[in-house]
Structure 1
C-alpha cells in the first residue's frame, strides 16, 4: 500500500537542515506507528515537488534512512518502510488518575529553597543584555570547535568516543591540564591528583560532599556564588559567612575554628575583588593554624587583561591543604560544563569514587574535543581575543557609568567580565530588573549572592561579556533613566 503524499509536511518552525527535517519526519512516523512496515513511500521526485525542496535533498534523506534500516529499497519499485524498522511502542502512555503519595512525608531530603537567579532563556532577544555567563556568538570560535569535534569523531578516536572510562578521564585532556594549564598558575600535579568534572559547580559539590559533615564548619564569602551557598546548606554543615572587603576574604575575620574555607581569590564572585599576595599568604598561615582545608575556586583567572594574574593559592601552598578548582566552561562556552579539581591523592581518590557513583565521568567525546581545542592553540587564541574585546567594552562601560553617575560597588583591578553595582538604598533591583526589561535592558539582581534572611536589595551585576561595545552607552542611558524615575 502506498502512503499518501499528503501525509508529509515540513514544520515551518522546525530547526536543522531540510534533509534532517525530512529524516526526522519519516522516522517519527515509523516510530509512532503511523507509517507501517511494507508501505511504499512517494518517489523522491514527487516528495520533493510536494515539499518544495530539491530532489537531491529527499534522495539524501532516503539514503540515510536506508542506512539506518528505517527504509528498504526494492528494484524498480522505490522505497518502502523496512521490515526491520524499529517497532512502535505498544505501551499506552498513562498518567496516574490520582497521586496518593504523601510527598511531604516521602521526601527525605529537600534541595529546593535556595535563591537561584532566574535568567531569561531568550536573553539574546534583548537589545541590551548586561547578563553574565552567556556565550557571545561574535567571540566564540565555532569553526575550530566544529573541526575539533569532527576530529574527535574520527576512527582513531573511536575508543575515546565510545569507551566507558568508569572512574578515569581522557588522558589527552589530563595531559594538557597537567603540562600547560596548571604550570601557568604555578601548580605542579600528577595525573592521580587531577579529576575532570562537569564544570566548577560540580567540582564544588564533590568537594563539599567529601570534606563536610554535620559536625564540621565551612567558611564562605559574603556575598558569594549563590550555588555554593546552596551546596553548603545541603551538606548540613555549620556555615560561617564572612563579609568580604575590597581585597576579598579577610583572614582576620575568620572564626576561631573552621574545617573548610571556600574562597575566590582571583576574581571574587560577584564583587570582582582580587586578593593581594600578602593576604593570600596570611590566609594560608591562618588555615595552617586551624588545620583547615582551603578550596580555591580560581574564578575568571584567564580574563586578567589589565595585568598578569597573581599566583594561585595552590602554588603558594607547601602543606597540601589547598584544593584547586578550575573550569573551561566560562572561557570556552557555558554549555560545555567541563572543569577540574586538583588536590592531594587521598582527596582525589575519594572524589573520583563519588563521581563514579553519580555520573561515572564527563562524556569522552566532549573531553577529547576539548583536548584537541586546547592542544591546537585555539583556546589561547580565544582567550587573547576575549581579553582585547572585553578591555574595549569595559572602557566604554566605565565611561558610560561615569557620564550617568552610576555607582560601582566593585570592579576587578585585573580584568574580569562584569561590574558589581550599587543602586541607592531605596531601590529593589528585582523590581528594577522587571522595569528595565520593558526597555530591552537585562541586569542581574544582586540579592541571591548574599547570606542571611534580609539581604540587601540594592546591588546588581552588569556584565559586558554578551553585549557589543556599540550598544553599551544606550543601554546604560536607559538604565540611568529608569533609576532616576524609580519610586
Structure 2
C-alpha cells in the first residue's frame, strides 16, 4: 500500500532543518507502527512538490534513512519502508489498571529533598538574566570546537574514542591538564594524581563518598556553593557551617573532629573574596595538626582581573592533604560536563574505582575533543576572550551600580563572573526576585547560599556571564527601581 504525500508535513517555525524534520517524521511513524515494512513512499518529486521544498532535500533525507536501514531503495521502483527494522512489540489489549506500585514505601526521597528547586531553566527567555554559571554562546568558539570534534571523529582516531576505557582516562587530555592547566595554579601532578570527572559536581560527590564515615562531620563555608550542600545533605553527614569574612574562611574557626573542610579559597562562593596566603598556610597547618582533609573547589581561577591569581591551596600543600577540584565549565562551556580531581595517588585510585562502578569514565569523544581544544591553543584564546569580555561587563556593571546607589557586599573582591550585593535594611532579596521576574529581570537571592536562609535575606548575586554589556545598565536600573519601590 503506498503512503500518500498528505501523510507528511513540515513546520518552518520549528527551527530544525527541513531535511531533519522529514527524517524524524518517518522514523517516528515506523517506530509507532503507522508505516509498515514494504509500504512505498511517495516519489522524491511528488513529496517535494507537496511539501514545497527542493527535491534534493527529500532525496537527502531518503538517502540518510536508507543508510540507517529505515528505508530500502529499489531500482526504478522507488523507496520502501525497510523490513530490516525490528517490529514493535504488540501491546496486550487494555485491561483495568492495577493499583499503582507504592514507590513511597521504597524511597526515602533524601535526594529530591536536598535538591535545589529554584533553578530557572527558561532563563534565556528573560531580557535581563543576571544568572550565574551559564555560557554566552557569543564567547564560545563554535568553529574551533567543531573542528576539534571533527578531528576526534575522523577515521584515524575513531577506534580510540569509541572503545570502553574501563576505568582509564584519555592519556592526551590528562597530559594536557598536567602540563598546561595545573602549572598555572602552581600545581605539579603526575598522571596517577589526576582523575577526570563529569564536571565539578561529580568531583564533589566522589570526594564526599570517599570521605564519608558513620557519624562523619564536614565543615563548609557559610555562605557556600549550594550544590555542595545538596551532596552533603543527601549523604547524611553532619554539616558544620563556618561563617566567612572579607578574607574568606577563618582557619581558627574550623571545628575539631571533622573529616574534611570544603573551601573555595580563590573565589569564595558566592562573595568572591580571596583567601590570603597567610590564611591558606594556617588552614593547611590546622589540617595537618587535626588530621582532616581539605577539599579545594577552584571553580573560576581563569577569571582574574587584578594580576596573576594566588597559587592554589594544593600548590603549597606539602603534606598531601588537599583534594583539588577543577572544571572546564566556566572556561569552555557548562555543557561539556568535564572536570578533574587532583589528589594523592591513593585517593585517586579509590576515586577511580568508585567512578568506575557508577559511570566507567566521561565520554571518550568529549575527552579527546577537549584534548584537541587545549593542544591547538583554542582554550587559551577562548579564556582570554572571556576574560576581556567579563572585565568589560564587570566595569559596566560597577559603573551602573554606583550610578543607581546599589551597595556591594564584597567591594574588595576581584575577578570571577559575578558580584555580591547587599539590599537596604528591611528589603528581602527573595521578595525582590519575585518582583523583578515580572519585569523581565533575573537575580539570585542570597538565602539559598546560607545554612540558615534567614541570614541571606539581605544579599543577592548578580552574574554577568550570560548578559551582554549593552543590556546591563537597563537591567541595573530596573533592579534599583524595584528595590526603591519594595523599600517604600
The two structures share one fold, judged by TM-score above 0.5: yes
The alignment status of 1:222 with 2:228, answered yes or no, reads no
Match of 1:319 in 2: 319
Listed as ranges, the matches of 1:132-147 within 5 Å are 132-147=132-147
- CA shift, 1:257, in A, is 3.1
Residues 95 and 430 (structure 1 numbering): CA distance in 2 closer, same or farther, change over 3 Å?
farther
Q: TM-score, normalised by structure 2?
A: 0.96
Q: How many residues align?
A: 487
Please show how residues 127-276 of structure 1 align to structure 2 within 5 Å.
127-276=127-276
Change (3 A) 1:119 1:217: closer
Q: What root-mean-square deviation, in Å, do the aligned CA atoms of Structure 1 and Structure 2 show?
A: 1.8
Aligned-partner Cα distance in 1 for 2:154–2:104: 50
* CA distance in 2: counterparts of 1:96 and 1:425, whole angstroms: 60
Change (3 A) 1:469 1:109: closer
Give the equivalent residue in structure 2 for 1:427: 427
Alignment pair present for 1:477 and 2:477: yes
SS of equivalent to 1:460: strand
2: distance between equivalents of 1:108 and 1:114?
11
Give the 5 Å matches for 1:330-369: 330-369=330-369
Aligned-pair CA distance for 1:453 = 6.2
Contact 2:12–2:18 (Cα < 8 Å) also in 1: no
Give yes or no for contact 1:134–1:466 (8 Å, CA) kept in 2: yes
Change (3 A) 1:142 1:318: same
1:13 positional shift: 4.7
Q: Distance in 1 between matches of 2:149 and 2:202?
A: 23
Task: Out of 90-99 and 401-410, give the one that drifted further.
Answer: 90-99
* CA deviation after TM superposition for structure 1 residue 431, in Å: 2.0
Residues in 1 aligned to 2:82 and 2:232: alpha-carbon distance in whole angstroms: 54
Take 1:14 and 1:97, find their aligned partners in 2: how far apart are those partners?
A: 37
Q: Deviations over 1:401-424 (max 9, x none)?
A: 111111111256331100011112
Cα displacement string for residues 357-378 of structure 1 (whole angstroms, at most 9, x for unaligned residues): 1111111111111111111111
Q: Secondary structure at the match of 1:60?
A: helix
Partner of 2:50: 50
* Whole-angstrom distance in 2 between the partners of 1:152 and 1:96: 52
Partner Cα separation in structure 1 for residue 105 and residue 385 of structure 2: 53
Question: For the residues of structure 2 that align with 1:366 and 1:95, how far apart are their CA atoms?
Answer: 46
- What is the deviation of 1:95? 11
Q: Comparing 437-446 with 264-273, which one deviates more in the overlay?
A: 437-446
Give the direction of change, closer, same or farther, for the CA distance of 1:200–1:397 in structure 2 (3 Å limit).
same
Tell me the distance in 1 between the aligned counterparts of 2:63 and 2:225: 50
Larger mean CA deviation between 125-134 and 115-124 belongs to: 115-124
Matched-pair contact (CA < 8 Å) for 2:114–2:231: no
CA 1:166–1:248: 2 relative to 1, 3 Å: same
Taking a change above 3 Å as real, the CA distance of residues 444 and 98 of structure 1, as seen in their structure-2 partners, is farther
5+ unaligned residues in a row in structure 1: which ranges? none
TM-score when normalising by structure 1:
0.96
- Distance (whole Å) between structure 2 residues aligned to residue 335 and residue 44 of structure 1: 38
Judge conservation of contact 1:446–1:459 (CA < 8 Å) in 2.
yes
